[in-house]
Chains A and B, each alone.
Chain A
Amino acid sequence: MPERVLLDWLYVAVFAVVGVVMATLPLGIVWLLAPRVELPQKRMTYESGVVPFGQAWAQFNIRYYLFALIFVLFEVEVIYLFPWAVVFRQLGKFAFIEAVLFIVILGMGLIYAWRKGALEWV
């Protein structure tokens, strides 16, 4: 079996590499066909037609960082649930009760975050 798995990932690697080549191909055609006229205004940043005001790379508050933290938590929970979902019918009631405990504990975490106002968009 391991050789088949290895072959799966060989395909993924070949797809990634050849995919990049295929996706760059039209850009190559553009490089051959498209006109090139240098104008300073053409390469200006678009800002609804007015002269751009400063840069976009400024510091500002990413307000959903709390959501990002909760996301990491629950994404890990979901990853743990995947192998459980595959085998739980063979393991029976015991596995089901374990999953209930697991989800309830993390569910309480979600309720805690909710009550603390981490899920509010301010």
Chain B
Amino acid sequence: MNWFVEILKAILLTVVLFTFLAVVAAMLGVLAERKISGWIQSRLGPKHVGPQGLLQTVADTVKLLQKEHITPLNADALTFNIAPVMVVVAALLAWMIIPFGPAFGRVLVVRDINIGLLFFIAMASLIVIGILLGGWSSNNKYALLGGFRAASQMISYEIPLALAMMVPIMMAGTLSTVGIVEAQAGGTLDMGNWFIFGGRFQWRGVIPSVIAFAMFLTAATAETNRVPFDLPEAESELVAGFFTEYTGMRFALFQLGEYAEAFAMAALASVLFLGGWHGPVLPGVAWFFIKMFALVFFLMWVRWTYPRLRFDQLLNLSWKGLVPLGFLLVLLTGWLLV
């Protein structure tokens, strides 16, 4: 094995994946969010830049590139500037294990790491450390409160997230994402073995995976700090939460990190429960993107459907609801599948 070639390949893949995230997750994601928000609220959303406002986020990025780089005098300058980079890099690393589908005779995935899901959880919690760093180093009361809220939210919802992942892991018997998707191959129309339809266990698989899917989406919404769990950046009480002090490009980096994480969660949900790239007629990669965008649309829909939770409700939902439910779910799955 030629290590030099491998390193060059890795560098190239980083650039490709980063560009993919910047274009699809950040630019397309923000545009979709604004357009869908507009339609749900009976308005048009951005429509003047480019055809139907398609180039709005491109224009925004160009604008943000020209904004002054301001570090507040009281802030801890080093950590203040590291935090947004850390959020982006953690989101980028989380995307390493997401398989896009078969193409050119192999599966399109950066690395099929054998402990992929564990790696994903680790990287998803690194994002929160970046947020906490940003909130603390701003030396701003709103930002500090936002950072602490993000930390408490992360510790409350990481356990339900991991427990919801446990069900597909138990059904597939592997932690590798490619292995989990391959365990969902076949069945009627190449859909019958999706874990949400019970995989190869028929009705014994349906019950736990439907509950786990709902739990995963709830916990993922909370982990990505999206409405109704957007307490860390609650704009009506904390201005902008942890990124109150951030301007220009560093603000955009935070946005990129957040959208990349939200898209990663949607992609992982489709890998774990909706059969990844499996589906009838269309090529695999197309199915993967259809499922991912459907789930992203669902997240945006939820945003305009539920009001923000109060802090004690948020903690109760996790510790008195999802955590006991998650452990019972693992036991139920074990009982049904053993």
Contacts and interface: CB of A to CB of B under 8 A. Distances in A.
Given A44-B72, A67-B315, A74-B323, A26 B249 contact: yes
A30 B96 CA distance: 28
B173 A99 contact: no
A74 B312 CA distance: 20
Given A75-B158, A85-B169, A89-B173, A96 B10 contact: no
Interface in B233-261: 239, 244-245, 248-250, 252-253
A65 B302 CA distance: 30
Interface stretch (B51-59, B99-107, B133-141, B283-291): B133-141
B71 interface: yes
A106 B3 CA distance: 46
Interface string B68-79: 111111110000
B118 interface: yes
Contacts of A57: 136, 139, 144
A121 B239 contact: no
Given A22-B14, A62-B148, A12 B335 contact: no
B318 to A, nearest CB: 9
B152 interface: yes
A111 to B, nearest CB: 9
Contacts of B337: 89
A37 B84 CA distance: 23
Nearest to B169: A85
A10 B65 contact: no
Contacts of A87: 173
B110 interface: yes
Interface of A: 3, 5, 7-8, 10-12, 14-16, 18-20, 22-24, 26-27, 29-31, 33-37, 40, 42-48, 52, 55-57, 62, 64, 67-68, 70-71, 74-75, 78, 81-82, 85-90, 92-93, 96, 99-100, 103, 106-107, 110, 114, 119, 121
20 contacts: A7-B1, A8-B114, A10-B6, A15-B92, A19-B88, A23-B18, A30-B65, A30-B69, A33-B66, A34-B66, A43-B70, A45-B138, A46-B244, A56-B138, A57-B139, A86-B175, A87-B173, A106-B327, A114-B320, A119-B319
Interface of B: 1, 3, 6-7, 10-11, 13-15, 17-18, 65-75, 81, 84-85, 88-89, 92-93, 96, 110-111, 113-114, 117-119, 136, 138-144, 148, 152, 155-156, 158-159, 162-163, 166, 169-170, 173-175, 239, 244-245, 248-250, 252-253, 311-312, 315-316, 319-320, 323-324, 327, 330-331, 334-335, 337-338
- In the A-B complex, the 3 residue pairs with the smallest Cβ-Cβ separation, listed nearest first, are A14-B10, A121-B312, A18-B14
